[in-house]
Structure 1
Amino acid sequence: MAKRICWLYRLETVSYDIVWRWQQNLLHLRRQNPDLPDALLLVEHPPVYTLGQGADESFLKFTPNAHMPPVVRIERGGEVTYHCPGQLVGYPILNLRRHRPDLHWYLRQLEEVVIRTVSAFEIDGERSDGLTGVWVEGRKVAAIGIKASRWITMHGFALNICPDLSGFQHIVPCGIADKAVGSLSEFQQGLDRLQVQPVLEKQFAQVFQCELVPQDLCTLPSSLS
């Protein structure tokens, strides 16, 4: 049986708004044509706070202003989180009808990708009962928030490799006040994206039983016209 194909877009540091639009367009095209391959975008963002569609703004500890990173409300589930350089963000655009049309299963698979990835660096990642994400020694190193339309996914996961964590001090991350945020570099010094991303790509391909096929960035849909 041939493996499913998943187009892989390896991005550098790109603003959140641009990648958000790419996700929306990739999802829209797959709603129009479900036979299009799945896609995975891997990227870093400049500092930005994002809130899920039903997120409580009281979890922001500041009033948005020009001196702080932008705050963007988006269509994923979950509360507020923070993106910044040193964090590897993954946006899978998957047709779950090809995999398993079950969002709880999908969330657990994303966690599994991260757990297997950090294990390759002798770091023990764990789940926390009743919560979504991955923890190491009680510190949350990966946040996950998704959206699905007709079983086609967008948004995804953010893995803290070596970011400046101070931006998390201005929010209640994911609405969880009693659990700290951490990064892989706290447990394995010197880790960076160049080391971690190839491992994560391999684990993603194994967990979702697909072949990642790198794509030219010019093939990303900038509009739906």
Structure 2
Amino acid sequence: MRAFTDARDAATADELWLLEHPPVFTLGQAGLAEHILDPGSIPVVHCDRGGQVTYHGPGQLVAYLLLDLKRARLGVKQLVHLLEQAVVALLAEHALAAQTRADAPGVYVGAAKIASVGLRVRHGRSYHGIALNIDLDPAPFGRINPCGYPGLAVTRLCDHGVRIGVREAGERLAAHLCRLLGRPPGGANEAA
């Protein structure tokens, strides 16, 4: 993502990468190691996104939005809001009421976090993005203070009776992101 962002110019098309990660804890650039309680055998990767620590693993949709913010006429806060609203719209398709919080980025169902946001902007272009819990193993979240909040409850779509695969969720999320960005659907790149 960083190489793509550094190499792009004003004519480079924006991209959306949809994927699942193998089990990994990621610690944002200002992340505090004290929020990693017991990583066990799960690797901890320091990355240059914002935010604290989170867990990524199979059964979680990760959407990386590589976007030229100037061309899209968006600020960082607007982009965070757009990512959150795309997830809220996806959950609404399944009659699942979700909301955002002004004091903690992400998407919540009740008091439990279902999607985490972490971005990086370099030279007016974003990378990293949002992670939506579909049907991943929740146990690793107990080994960290998710997003730097001790005791933060984490939930998944499957906990609310929503049965959807990561690929289908990615397609639906991409459609909502395209709509919110005012762009035609299609053209999303998938990475393994």
Does the TM-score normalized on the shorter chain lie above 0.5?
A: yes
3-state SS of 1:25 partner: helix
Alignment match, 1:71: 44
Say which one has the larger Rg: 1
- What is the rounded CA distance, in whole Å, between the counterparts of 1:112 and 1:136 in structure 2? 13
Runs of 4+ in 1 over 4 A off after TM superposition: 214-217
The aligned counterpart of 1:157 is: 130
Corresponding position: 1:179 with 2:152? yes
Of 23, 45, 51, the residue aligned with 1:47 is 23
3-state SS, counterpart of residue 73 of structure 2: coil
Distance, in Å, in 2 between the alignment partners of 1:77 and 1:214 is 23
Counterpart for residue 99 of structure 1 = 72
- Do the aligned partners of 1:61 and 1:170 also contact (CA within 8 Å) in 2? yes
Match of 1:213 among 184, 187, 191: 187
> CA RMSD, aligned part only?
1.7
Matches for 1:190-201 after TM superposition, within 5 Å: 190-201=163-174
Counterparts of residues 77-88 of structure 1 (less than 5 Å): 77-88=50-61
Distance 1:144 1:214, change over 3 A: closer
**Paired position in structure 2 for 1:29:** 7
On the 8 A contact 1:127/1:134 being kept in 2, the answer is yes
The equivalent residue for 1:166 is: 139
Structure 1 spans left out of the alignment, 5+ residues? 1-22, 218-225
**Which digits, 9 at most, give the CA deviation of each residue in 1:27-68, with x for residues without a partner?**
0121xx121110110000100000011101100112x5xx51
Gaps of 5+ in 2: none
* Per-residue deviation, 1:128: 1.5
CA spacing shift, 1:189–1:105, aligned 2, 3 Å: closer
**Rounded Cα–Cα distance in structure 1 between residues aligned with 2:74 and 2:97:** 29
Match of 2:87 in 1: 114
Q: Give distance in 1, aligned partners of 2:44 and 2:147.
A: 14
Counterpart Cα distance in 1 of 2:120 and 2:113: 21
- Measure, in 1, the Cα distance between the counterparts of 2:25 and 2:145: 11
Letter in 1 for 2:132: L
Conserved? CA contact 1:142–1:160, under 8 Å: yes
Read off the aligned partner of 2:69 and give its amino acid letter. Answer: L
Q: Could you tell me how far 1:117 is from its partner in structure 2?
A: 0.8
Q: 151-160 or 101-110: which moved more?
A: 101-110
Aligned residues: 191
What letter matches 2:146 in structure 1?
A: P
Say if 2:15 and 2:188, in contact at 8 Å, map to a contact too.
no
